[in-house]
A = this chain, B = another copy of it.
């Protein structure tokens, strides 16, 4: 898995890159099963909406073998190494549910704003990677991105502690309007197994989900090792402090794991 020069240029210009169906049906089925299993657990890493539906499961790569493999997967790690030109560690890992009927909004924000303010990350040299576990459609609360907004730098933000159950540094309406006037809004959609990479300063948000279609996404934040955080204030399971460079697993590691689990069950 290697990005083409065109893909790299696109990423630098637009701030995002979509790779459709990077994972196959067998890999997706395994990850979906394991995500559901994690959501059913009651543990501090699993956060819920106000109504009790799962919203986010943090750090699943530290307690689940499937997601341990995903967190070191070469199809995710190699492209980001290409872009940053160095090795990476896992800054954050979460599985966002955007549950059917009840998935709540994420207000407009830049992720680097939080990494800088709450974790002391020196530069926006960390990449967001979202792996679709369900089909992302226009109607089930897709991620909305503002192309080119990654060039706007670290924007002034307010700490929203009220809108949803997750505290977030969010942008004001005038700022969002200005950036959207320039770059528009895109909502990358695609089948389960697709992968969306976007810059730490890219402005994004998502609407709620009132449809019967859930929209689970795994988010990895891969940070350049030289850019490791310096002033962590959040729990270790939200902003990791293990800066060991990731050694990618074999490309077929998820498939092999799915088959070994199947064999064990038979």
Which DSSP category, helix, strand, loop or mixed, fits chain A's interface?
loop
A-B contact pairs, 30 of them (CB 8 A): A100-B173, A100-B177, A101-B173, A101-B176, A105-B208, A105-B210, A107-B210, A108-B210, A138-B138, A138-B139, A138-B187, A139-B144, A139-B185, A141-B207, A144-B210, A144-B211, A173-B212, A176-B212, A177-B212, A180-B211, A180-B212, A181-B212, A185-B211, A205-B210, A206-B210, A207-B207, A207-B208, A207-B209, A207-B210, A208-B208
Give chain B residues whose Cβ lies under 8 Å from the Cβ of A212: 173, 176-177, 180-181
Identity of the chain B residue whose Cβ is nearest the Cβ of A104 in the assembled complex? B208
Number of interface residues of A (CB under 8 A): 24
Q: Which 10 A-B pairs have the closest CB atoms?
A: A138-B138, A177-B212, A207-B207, A101-B173, A180-B212, A205-B210, A207-B210, A207-B208, A139-B187, A208-B208
Q: Once the chains are docked, how many angstroms separate the CA of A177 from the CA of B99?
A: 13
Chain B residue numbers with a CB within 8 Å of A105 are 208, 210
Closest to A211 in B: B185
Min CB gap A232→B, angstroms: 30
